[in-house]
Structure 1
Amino acid sequence: MGQQKSGMTQNNTSQPGRLRPEELVPSRYAVRVGEIDVLVVSDGVLPLPTAMLGHNADPTARAAWLKDMFLPPDAFDWALNVVVVRSGGQTILIDAGLGFDPNLNLPRAGQLAKRLEAAGIDLGFVTDVVLTHMHMDHVGGLLVDGVKERLRPDLRIHVAAAEVKFWEAPDFSRVSMPPGFPDALRAAAKRFTEEYRSHLRLFDEEQAVAPGVVATRTGGHTPGHSVVRVASGNDRLMFAGDAVFAVGFEHPDWYNGFEHDPEEAARVRVRLLRELAETGGLLVATHLPFPSVGHVAVEGDDFRWVPVFWDY
């Protein structure tokens, strides 16, 4: 698919005169999907243990994959991406990043608000939010002090009904998370539901959010985990949330530590990767390296990630 510049940002290059000292790399990337503008925005990075990539995998195999990828053996920085879509007069924010949790010491994430501002996107113009799920690195940006006051009073937040139900009494029996994360996830989901209940627009299996923008529940990662498909003309893009991780192309059967139903998550992952390989559509996912825009190739049971050539 040929990429064109989006009207949401002037270009994909940095502007040195406006950079903050810590902004050493671009933090947004624009894609055109037919007539729909898509902007991938980095919320920062999360340093997490490498065992989280495949806690059911043989440690030797996991170490070999990390070495082949030139990644450190113990922990590395996971990207944290969100997406802004403009279609049919609506501005849609897909996921909201981490926000701020002082107990987890994750200072390099939670950058969404300032990066939206740097991209010229006013929170007050966001008409819809779609949540792939309610883990705190997807809802936390809406819980930052001062954010809710900047949002529209008629903001619609689309999330699967099964997701809201799950967080009433979440089951962490099958995850493999670092200490502190389960409590933080419970607290963030509870607070989010309390603060935004009147804005929630629940759906069972599928919800058309705007022309060419459809959210579909997949389950797996969480019971209400959803993906968002963007389609216009012959162009396609899927925001897969946490259904796909970097290791998932070569090892889709490896369980991620944040998956509440690992077996179902693996089945969902394979199904989505096969769909993307068949359609040739673009894939963007939360924790693929920024800007996380690429294609999926398949040969037999083997998948391969093919990043796009950046369009300047």
Structure 2
Amino acid sequence: MSLAEQQAKSTSLDNTPHPSVKHCTDTVNARYTHGRPDHELVPSRYVLKVGTIEVTVVSDGVLSLPGAMLGHNADPAVREAWLEDKFLPPDVLEWALNVVVVRSGGRTILVDAGIGAEFPDLKRAGQLVGRLDDAGIDLSSVTDVVLTHLHMDHIGGLLVDGVKEVLRPDLRIHVAAAEIKFWEAPDFSHVSMPPGFPDALRVSAKRFLKEYRNQLRPFEDEHEVAPGVRVQRTGGHTPGHSVVRLASGGDRLTFAGDAVFQVGFEHPDWYNGFEHDPEEAARVRVSLLREMAANRESLLATHLSFPSVCHVAVDGDVFRWVPGPWEY
């Protein structure tokens, strides 16, 4: 049985989906049925170059969550108006799940790992293992993993049955030391998540840290993973949240993880429900978007619509999302 087939048969940590996660999924599936066939309608990978660095964006699927998650401190009427203006339903936000594979200096670097197979009711998410295989990317070729943070939709793919056995024994997993410390006793006092999500996040992070402790390569503020590939701690979303900066031949690109969501361009002061320090997350978001606008580099992020390649423009006191031209 292939690793992709093993993933399809995997279930949650205790073989039972968390009831709150299942309720959210059932509600979404009942109201927003797309009638998609089993095969993919669009490509799930996109390749671009940053100088001599090769970047492959891989879709782990899409995760449906309550619309309030994109700005729980906003006036509900204003939030619903923004969703309507974007031709989106008022109460459900479909978050893309983007993962990046970077090749530089003879190293193959997986940046984040998707949500995995922990929640079998999330049928349109957790596709990473199969889609890496479709893209011709062998897990055994991965030399490094960079984790922007330890939320379950960024580490779950490493917890899929059979994955660890395929990965290299000398694999290096780069994650901020502050992130590791945070998950020893995580603080959820400032989040606004659906019930059950804090418990699910705790369980996933605890299991990950236990299973991969020997592969962890913690860094303090910044670390060069490969030529032109740096990981830099920003904090905010979580204390150790980090971004990945690529630079080669005058080209630059930043993978922003969860620092930027679609609504963050027009409403950078809106608090995402999964931010552990919303005020700091807003400051990080504004600073990052200002930098992106000033130097005109490309931006990728986990939850921007696949393949998420874009630029940032300043529009008065806020920002404007400018989709990057498709590289045929």
Tell me the residue number matched to 1:89.
106
2:162 counterpart of 1:131: no
Q: Deviations over 1:119-166 (max 9, x none)?
A: 000000000000000000000000000000000000000000000000
Match of 2:60 among 25, 36, 43: 43
Tell me the residue number matched to 1:12.
none
Tell me the residue number matched to 1:167.
183
2:94 counterpart of 1:77: yes
Please state whether the residue corresponding to 2:100 is helix, strand or coil: strand
Q: Which residue identity is paired with 1:279?
A: N
Q: Which residue identity is paired with 2:216?
A: L
Q: Deviations over 1:58-104 (max 9, x none)?
A: 011101100100000111311000000000000000000000223x7
Tell me the residue number matched to 1:228.
244
Q: Deviations over 1:28-81 (max 9, x none)?
A: 111100000001000000000000000000011101100100000111311000
- 8 Å CA contact 2:69, 2:193 repeated in 1: yes
Tell me the residue number matched to 1:10.
none
2: CA distance between counterparts of 1:55 and 1:303? Answer: 20
2: CA distance between counterparts of 1:286 and 1:308? Answer: 16
TM-score, normalised with respect to structure 1? 0.92
- 8 Å CA contact 2:65, 2:94 repeated in 1: yes
Percent sequence identity over aligned pairs: 75
Please state whether the residue corresponding to 1:117 is helix, strand or coil: helix
Tell me the residue number matched to 1:100.
117
2: CA distance between counterparts of 1:106 and 1:174? Answer: 26
Q: How many residues align?
A: 292
Contiguous gaps of at least 5 residues in structure 1: 1-19
Please state whether the residue corresponding to 1:309 is helix, strand or coil: coil
- State the Cα distance separating 1:22 from its structure 2 match: 2.7
Contiguous gaps of at least 5 residues in structure 2: 1-36
Tell me the residue number matched to 2:39.
22
Tell me the residue number matched to 1:261.
277
Q: Which residue identity is paired with 1:86?
A: R
Tell me the residue number matched to 2:226.
210
Tell me the residue number matched to 1:179.
195
- 8 Å CA contact 2:45, 2:58 repeated in 1: yes
Show the 5 A alignment for 1:6-17.
none
CA RMSD, Structure 1 to Structure 2 (Å):
1.0
Q: Which residue identity is paired with 2:107?
A: Q
2: CA distance between counterparts of 1:300 and 1:61? Answer: 19
Please state whether the residue corresponding to 1:168 is helix, strand or coil: coil
- State the Cα distance separating 1:272 from its structure 2 match: 0.3
1: CA distance between counterparts of 2:97 and 2:78? Answer: 25
- State the Cα distance separating 1:180 from its structure 2 match: 1.5
Please state whether the residue corresponding to 1:278 is helix, strand or coil: helix
Q: Which residue identity is paired with 2:115?
A: L
2: CA distance between counterparts of 1:93 and 1:199? Answer: 14
TM-score, normalised with respect to structure 2? 0.88
Tell me the residue number matched to 1:196.
212
Q: Which residue identity is paired with 2:156?
A: G
Please state whether the residue corresponding to 2:179 is helix, strand or coil: helix
Match of 2:290 among 274, 297, 300: 274
* Runs of 4+ residues over 3 Å off in structure 1: none
